[in-house]
């Protein structure tokens, strides 16, 4: 309705967090800020409220533990979920810890989606996890494949838009370009721009300036 804010909650790991705890606005300095600023300058009258709930190191099990407080209780209009890279990374850098393999990842992710549908009126965007190393054939990127497929499968099952961020990154890498990340996972400004661009392309197909 006119006068009400359209509330978007972005939840995920460090790629989403990206400095939000050091930012007086709480938005951070990554892709979430780019999206927020684009929405503001293209339609300042819409009064969109963007909330960043990214926390570094999070896996799907960490999102589940804070889902009520950081998503459901906020009563968002749109929830954008960006998770999965740490579920793979921990298999590589901390193999002795309890891991979240694809079957569990899917089960938990499905439950989170169901909770949003049952307890809020929000719509959902699912974002594909991006990459692990800027080599499409890296072990991390091979391990990531079933997690990306899970996101796509859940999108089809629940008729939810999937932001093709993984595909977007692979497309750039296959052209021989790089410098999307600082360490194979965390974004440079180019990486953040690619995420924001891909998200906005999905968003603009679903929403218009008068909605």
Say which of 14, 77, 87, 192 is annotated catalytic. Answer: 14
The pair of three-digit structure tokens given for residue 85, joined into one six-digit string: 């890279």
More confident residue, 206 or 77: 77
Global pTM value: 0.95
Strands ordered across the beta sheet of 78-82: 48-54, 6-12, 78-82, 123-127, 162-163
Does pLDDT of 178 surpass 90?
no
Percent pLDDT > 70 in the chain is: 96
The rounded distance, in Å, linking the Cα atoms of 83 and 124 is 14
pLDDT digits (tens, 9 = 90+) for 46-90: 789 999 999 999 999 999 999 999 999 999 999 999 999 999 999
pLDDT averaged over every residue in the chain = 94
Active site residue 183: yes
Q: What is the 3-state secondary structure (H, E, C) of the chain?
A: CCCCCEEEEEEECHHHHCCHHHCCCCCCCCHHHHHHHHHHHHCHHHCEEEEEEECCCCCHHHHHHCHHHHCHHHCCCEEEEECCHHHHHHHHHCCCCCCCCHHHHHHHHHHHHHHHHHHCCCEEEEECCCCCCCCCCCHHHHHHHHHHHHHHHHHHHHCCCEECHHHHHHHHHHCCCCCCECCCCCECHHHHHHHHHHHHHHHHHHCCCCC
Say which of 23, 43, 47, 186 is annotated catalytic. Answer: 186
At 34 the pLDDT is 98
Average pLDDT for residues 135-143, to the nearest whole number?
95
The rounded distance, in Å, linking the Cα atoms of 186 and 182 is 6
The pair of three-digit structure tokens given for residue 169, joined into one six-digit string: 């990154």
pLDDT digits (tens, 9 = 90+) for 92-104: 999 999 999 999 9
Does pLDDT of 210 surpass 80?
no
The tokens 């503001």 sit on which residue? 40
At 46 the pLDDT is 73
Helix axes 165-174, 189-206, angle to 10 degrees: 130
Say which of 62, 93, 183, 192 is annotated catalytic. Answer: 183
Does pLDDT of 208 surpass 70?
no
Does pLDDT of 1 surpass 50?
no
Q: What are phi and psi of 6, to 5 degrees?
A: -90, 110
More confident residue, 209 or 98: 98
At 2 the pLDDT is 53
pLDDT digits (tens, 9 = 90+) for 2-45: 557 899 999 999 999 999 999 999 999 999 999 999 999 987 66
At 93 the pLDDT is 93
CA nearest neighbour of 151 among 102, 209, 118: 102
At 4 the pLDDT is 73
Q: What is the CA radius of gyration of the chain?
A: 16
């Amino acid at each position: 309705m006119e006068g009400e804010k359209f509330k978007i909650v972005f939840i995920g790991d460090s790629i989403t967090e990206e400095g939000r705890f050091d930012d007086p606005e709480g938005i951070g300095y990554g892709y979430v800020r780019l999206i927020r600023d684009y929405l503001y300058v293209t339609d300042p009258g819409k009064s969109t409220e963007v909330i960043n709930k990214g926390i570094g190191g999070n896996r799907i099990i960490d999102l589940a533990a804070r889902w009520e407080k950081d998503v459901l209780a906020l009563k968002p209009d749109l929830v954008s979920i960006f998770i999965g890279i740490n579920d793979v990374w921990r298999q590589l850098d901390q193999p002795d810890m309890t891991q979240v393999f694809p079957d569990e990842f899917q089960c938990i992710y499905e439950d989170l989606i169901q909770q949003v549908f049952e307890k809020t009126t929000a719509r959902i965007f699912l974002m594909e996890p991006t990459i692990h190393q800027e080599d499409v054939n890296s072990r991390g990127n091979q391990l990531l494949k079933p997690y990306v497929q899970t996101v796509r499968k859940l999108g089809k099952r629940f008729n939810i838009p999937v932001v093709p961020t993984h595909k977007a990154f692979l497309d750039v890498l296959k052209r021989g370009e790089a410098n999307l990340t600082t360490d194979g996972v965390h974004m440079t400004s180019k990486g953040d721009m690619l995420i924001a661009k891909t998200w906005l392309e999905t968003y603009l197909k679903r929403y218009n300036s008068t909605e």
